Chain A
Amino acid sequence: MNENVMREVIDMINKRIPLKLTLLIFATICMVLIQYILVPGSVTLGQFMIVSRQASALGIIALGQAIVILVGGIDLSVGSIVMTTNLFCIASMRGSNDYLLYGLGLCFLIAVLVGFFNSVGILYLGIAPFVMTLCTMTILQGICYVYTQGAPTGSAAPMIRSLGTGYFCKIPYSTIIWVVLAFVSIIILKLTTLGRKIYAVGGNSRAAELSGINSKAIITFAYIFSAILSMIAGVILSGYLNISSLTVGGDYVNNSLAAVLIGGNAISGGKGGIIGVVFGAFLMTYLLAILTMLGIGEVGKLIVQGIVIFTVVALQGIRQKS
């Protein structure tokens, strides 16, 4: 380890954790306590693992969303990429390992194309990120509906299925993938020049360009990265569900935005980290799990979720001001 790396790590511990993560850690502890008091005996490691498996798809999507928001954009197409991946993954594998690579390759290709399409629209046609990714979202939805005629069929390859449901030493595979991808994102952001450039472009893209950064390449990278992560989440979900559904991606757009903002990242770009986003995604899923355990229906879940997300983001705003 060279000196720079050490300094980065110390900086991270000194600055990031006290400022941004105290609230999230506090919220997690509060929720564990609430669960312990209201549903005695349910706080176990196994239950945490199940929650983390459920959170993994959202968590992975939120990582990509976080990088896009860091460069000052927004990606509304993540949900429909999940849907498209789910559809093509299941349809092309036909329940056999023989078609595994073909299916994964197809999904990867689609993801890269979608990410590239987004960035071309934003960079070269000058369309606002919100509108461009909204277009992509609508078009992908349309393609899925046209392709399946509203009735998707097929089943996932056994290997994908074990990826979605299997365990390695009591830790779900999907959680491991999530954690690994989170580490990769942290390393990219904190320890590489690419990460520095991402922060620079998000902070002020004109200034970044003037200081010799190819901001177009960085933004293109961000959108393709986000699309690929959404595709990975889609594959994991396909393995977990083992069916393809036309509604599978629905909530992920809003929830990934919420996870990123709960994590303390600024919507205007250039500020924030990955650890908060991982916490954000876990917290949101954990909240839903507790509400389910308490037997609260869909109505209560929606209301509590809205209030909690708003409160967390509002409290962070107050903290940052002071």
Chain B
Amino acid sequence: MKKRGIKIDKQKKGVITIFTLLSVVFIIMCFYSSSFRSFYNITNLLVQCVPLACVAIGQTFVIVSGGIDLSVGSTISICTAIASKLLNTDSVFEAFIGSMLILIMGIFIGLINGVGINFLNVPPLITTLCSSTILSGLALYILPIAGGRINKDFARFIFRKWTIISMPLIILLIIFLIMRTILYKTSIGTGFYAIGKNRQIAKSMGVNVRRTGIIAYVIAGFCAAITGLLLACRMRVGDPTCGVPFTMDSITASVIGGTSMSGGVGLLSGTIAGAFLIGMLSNVMNNLAVNQFYQYVLKGGLLIVAMIVYSISGQIERKRNERSN
């Protein structure tokens, strides 16, 4: 137990870096642009970042356990497509039942991914790539073009605002607290870090490797389904291709937040900060009227800068350890 505490303390340094970066950008922009610091923009910004933050939490679970999930984008797409059919009712109760069904479907997709990876021994990359292809095909089958309708009252309820606090933020907070408990306080959570670091050793230490691996993908599928619901409620229609950018963005958010692609390292708070940084950056660029095409260049640049910062701080850490030894 004591050892786990130390490990998280080390990781926290990375999270502090990312939060510092986030607040520096935020404060500079607040001074610089009056439209950025406007109440309306900041509330909007917070709501805009929630879907990415939500899916990135799921992605973090998978990356921490040593895998990768390329199917989250298609899961989001198919969830909005199904939502536009299931939530196309007049009664809020039916819409609620429909959204529960969508969450169950997200879990089911994660389960299929997990079983393919852990029982059929297909590499995570290829399993999730295949399920991504199949799901995007199914999404196009369900809804060939963007359309459908989401129950108005349900969508309003999901996007309700009380001054700066809004319903999506509360949803994100609840998910964060639940996932935090799972990752840090339970034995399954420790299992994620263990199988991410070294599967063989984790197995010999008594971790149920297959079950833990499957749960990681189930969580990713669940988070993606929630993101799909949020997007559907925001757009109030379904869109069979709206999830595409979320796959890479969710990986970027986790990695910027200090998650290591080789597995076993990563914190949820870092991921959320990474997601907000990406969201804020595109907001900032719109605010400064930067050509939107530059956003691609800047997103890549931000990722490289974050990686360089982590690699330098890692090297300093290592040198300090060598010196003390």
Contact = CB atoms under 8 A, between A and B. Distances in A.
A198 interface: no
B296 A125 contact: no
Interface string B124-136: 0111011111101
Nearest to A310: B130
Contact of A317 (B122, B131, B293): B122
B97 interface: no
B68 interface: yes
B126 A267 contact: yes
A131 interface: yes
A23 B10 CA distance: 48
A25 B234 CA distance: 49
Contact of B294 (A126, A146, A303): A146
Contacts of A125: 304, 307-308, 311
A306 B122 CA distance: 13
A267 B123 contact: yes
| Main SS class of interface, B | helix
Given A128-B262, A306-B134, A149 B123 contact: no
A207 interface: no
| 6 nearest CB pairs, A to B | A142-B296, A302-B137, A142-B297, A138-B300, A145-B293, A306-B134
Contacts of B255: 128, 131
Given A125-B307, A127-B307, A317 B296 contact: no
Contacts of B116: 310, 314
Contacts of B295: 142
Given A142-B293, A298-B140, A309 B126 contact: yes
A298 B122 CA distance: 25
Given A74-B125, A299-B140, 10 more contacts: A128-B261, A132-B307, A136-B300, A137-B300, A138-B297, A139-B296, A261-B126, A298-B137, A314-B116, A318-B120
B254 to A, nearest CB: 10
Contact of A258 (B121, B129, B131, B141): B129
Contact of B297 (A143, A298, A300, A318): A143
Given A139-B300, A305-B133, A306-B130, A299 B141 contact: yes
Give the interface centre of A138, A139, A298, A321 by most chain B CB atoms within 10 Å. A138
Interface residues of B, number: 44
Interface in A44-82: 74
A132 B298 CA distance: 14
Interface string A278-322: 000000000000000000001111110111011001100110010
A307 to B, nearest CB: 7
Contacts of A74: 125
A166 interface: no
Interface string B300-318: 1101100110010011000
B12 interface: no
6 contacts: A131-B255, A142-B295, A257-B129, A261-B123, A309-B133, A321-B121
Interface in A102-144: 121, 125-128, 130-132, 134-139, 141-143
